[in-house]
Amino acid sequence: MNNFFSELEHKTVIVTGGSKGIGKDIALTFAKLKANVVISGRDNQVLEETLKELKNYNNRCMAVQGDLSIIENIKNLIETTAKEFGTIDILINNAGVNIAKPALEVTEADWDTVLDLNLKSVFFTSQAAAKYMSKQKNGKIINIASQMAFVGYYNRAAYCSSKGGLVQLTKALAVEWAKLGINVNAVAPTFIETELTAKMFEDEAFKKDVENRILLKGLSQPKDISGAVLYLASDLANFVTGETLKVDGGWTAI
């Protein structure tokens, strides 16, 4: 039992959006298991601060700055990682954005911002990583989707569309890449209590509505998502592909 997840030691793990929120918690979880973790993000200062924390557990961690809605930055992230570590074992597509607006007020720019990062960048990051994974006939890709892929919610037309597309993309890539030895799965969280959502939960009516929809009392914590990702990245999930694991406290069960 104590040997669970020991196979992740020295694995090369990319976590996009890995400097804040659940991405940071996921990155730390793997670093504590002595994986070589590469985080990406837009803010170089925040990246470097998180990198220092990761290196407390494994000095062979790295940060690559860049907005992944720009394809050239995706290429740089994947090639820099492969050059440094020689391989890419696990990719966690966590980078994402939401622009909360009523559907009647969503602009073309809003739509493109959300879909470009939440869906387009995931495809091209996965494609770039899969070219390396296919050479070794082994790899795990884990997409951070959302419960909003399965239910609708206010002010999230673009976000729901992007995450619904991500669940279907997960299935499509799993079907196509199984023969290459690549498992493709997703995790679909509910609202999570992080420093990034703190301001959102200052709206007491919104917070109450969210809490009322979650069957398990309270708000989800980053470690809840990290646990699901860890399972899918490990040998425990070697026969799992094309699946989306909901971590929503029962929200979508009703």
Written as six digits, the tokens of 160 are 């729901």
99: left (phi over 0), alpha (psi -120 to 50) or beta: beta
Q: Tell me, yes or no, whether 254 lies in a domain.
A: no
Measured from the Cβ of residue 97, the count of other Cβ atoms closer than 10 Å reads 15
Higher per-residue pLDDT: 199 or 136: 136
Establish if 204 belongs to a structural domain.
yes
Structural domain harbouring 204: 6-246
Q: Are 215 and 251 in contact (CB under 8 A)?
A: yes
Q: What is the pLDDT of residues 172-220, one digit of tens each?
A: 999 999 999 999 999 999 999 888 788 889 999 999 999 999 999 889 9
* Residue 103 to residue 22: CA distance in whole angstroms: 27
Interval 69-94: pLDDT, tens:
999 999 999 999 999 999 999 999 99
Could you tell me if residue 60 is inside a domain?
A: yes
Q: Is residue 251 part of a domain?
A: no
Q: Is residue 122 part of a domain?
A: yes
CATH number of the structural domain spanning residue 59: 3.40.50.720
Which residue shows structure tokens 């040998």? Answer: 235
In a domain, 252, yes or no: no
The catalytic site residues sit at 159
Angle at 22 between CA 151 and CA 232, to 5 degrees: 75
